[in-house]
Structure 1
Amino acid sequence: MKLVSWNVNGIRACVRKVFLDYFHDVDADIFCLQETKLQEGQIDLDLEGYHQYWNYAEKKGYSGTAVFTKREPLSVTYGLGEDEDSEPEGRIITLEFETFYMVTMYTPNAKRDLSRLDYRLEWEGRVLNYLTALDKVKPVLFCGDLNVAHQEIDLKNPKSNTGNSGFTDEERQCMTELLDAGFIDTFRHLYPEKTDHYTWWSYMRNVRERNIGWRIDYFIASERLASSLNDADIHAHVLGSDHCPILLDIEI
């Protein structure tokens, strides 16, 4: 099964660039989006053969997630298993299939001044509880823009970014706690020493061309799926967003 995740930083703008060409070329079984930045009715994507599920933020032009899947799920839920009003930013969708859960998420950014770090950490605690509860029922595949570079190997300039949003001790510890709870970072599991592989670059001049990036987009899997992994890839050549798509090939 081929899975793709991409923070498109606005699906309408991405569609005007390369999205549809890439979507059809990659031919994923499940294709997950983050930061769709639109409301219901603002786009009509004709994706023959796919079921579409969208989670819109209440705030216009902000956040949002979507999943396109060839296989129809048993059920689809939005939010973290709580009252939907508790998650107004459209950040998470869960699809239940016969043998696994597929979760896509756009993690809140702590902001440059860390003014949203407390909210971010509260969110991380809820996510950990949610995913571990799902994992008790059946294996979980969890993907998206998680807004954290976990290890120094996951960004170009770790020393100068220590303590910055996305590379604070607190955010990195949350990722460590998730992995310690029975999950694996699939890319790092398969390629523990691979350097200079990033999924996000600033829009500052020549940053992407010089590959000064961060790896903040992930496929996380239940630990017991490790033997089912075929490959994990980062499609850094695909433009259209400040993030690039990531791919997971897994037998499930």
Structure 2
Amino acid sequence: GVALLTKAKPLAVRKGLPTADEDALRRMIIADLETPVGTLTVLNGYFLQGECRDHPTKFPAKQKFYADMMNYLSEHHSPYQPIVIMGDMNISASDLDIGIGEENCKRWLRTGKCSFLPEERECMDTVLQWCLVDTFRALHPDT
């Protein structure tokens, strides 16, 4: 599950995405917080790991979770609204995010193990193309 701790009382809190099944309800908290520049929406998620590309349920569920989140954003928000998406995304968006060594990386790709498959990176690219920035990578481009 996920938790979201704030000093200020949220304006609204939603558990799960509108299309979520019971398991997915425990994987996302969405809160609206009042800030000096307007309402900030925070999506705090525990994104599915997916296991491997060939898993009959886990990998498709991971892709669906990302698609559901993007559908939620496009239906309820604008790319120009203040939004934070945070949590355990379970995707290494760039090679700099992979810490398992080159040989293990090649083996994981060869066997379809999740975390940095091209399909997963496409999911992350879709998120970032929604006028979002990987703040860690922006602050630490070479780390």
Q: State whether TM-score is above 0.5.
A: yes
> SS of the residue aligned with 1:65?
coil
Q: Give the whole-Å Cα distance in 2 for the aligned partners of 1:87 and 1:185.
A: 29
Q: Which has the higher strand share?
A: 1
Amino acid at match of 1:80: L
Amino acid at match of 1:94: I
Return closer, same or farther for 1:188/1:135 CA change in 2, 3 Å cut-off. farther
Q: Quick check: 1:112–1:165 contact (8 Å CA) kept in 2?
A: yes
Q: Give the whole-Å Cα distance in 1 for the aligned partners of 2:44 and 2:18.
A: 14
Q: Give the whole-Å Cα distance in 2 for the aligned partners of 1:113 and 1:91.
A: 21
Mapping of residues 34-183 of structure 1, within 5 Å: 64-82=1-19, 86-89=21-24, 90-98=26-34, 99-112=39-52, 114-115=54-55, 116-136=58-78, 138-156=81-99, 157=101, 158-162=105-109, 163-183=112-132
Q: Give the whole-Å Cα distance in 2 for the aligned partners of 1:133 and 1:187.
A: 27
Unaligned runs of 5+ in 2: none
> SS of the residue aligned with 1:110?
coil
Unaligned runs of 5+ in 1: 1-63, 195-252
Q: Quick check: 1:147–1:166 contact (8 Å CA) kept in 2?
A: yes
Task: Report the identity percentage.
Answer: 29
Amino acid at match of 2:120: E
Mean Cα displacement is larger for which, 156-165 or 120-129? 156-165
Amino acid at match of 2:118: D
| Runs of 4+ displaced beyond 2 Å | 86-89, 131-135, 156-163
Mapping of residues 212-227 of structure 1, within 5 Å: none
Q: CA deviation at 1:105?
A: 0.3
Q: CA deviation at 1:164?
A: 1.7
Q: CA deviation at 1:114?
A: 4.0
Q: Deviations over 1:29-80 (max 9, x none)?
A: xxxxxxxxxxxxxxxxxxxxxxxxxxxxxxxxxxx11112111010100111
> SS of the residue aligned with 2:3?
strand
Q: Compare CA radii of gyration and give the structure with the larger one.
A: 1
Q: Quick check: 2:16–2:28 contact (8 Å CA) kept in 1?
A: yes
Return closer, same or farther for 1:169/1:138 CA change in 2, 3 Å cut-off. same
Counterpart pick for 1:184 among 128, 133, 143: 133
TM-score normalised by the chain length of structure 2? 0.79
Q: Give the whole-Å Cα distance in 1 for the aligned partners of 2:54 and 2:88.
A: 18
TM-score normalised by the chain length of structure 1? 0.47
Equivalenced residue count is 129
Q: Which has the higher helix share?
A: 2
Superposition CA RMSD, Å? 2.0
> SS of the residue aligned with 1:123?
helix
Amino acid at match of 2:93: H
Q: Give the whole-Å Cα distance in 1 for the aligned partners of 2:22 and 2:44.
A: 14
Q: Quick check: 2:12–2:31 contact (8 Å CA) kept in 1?
A: yes
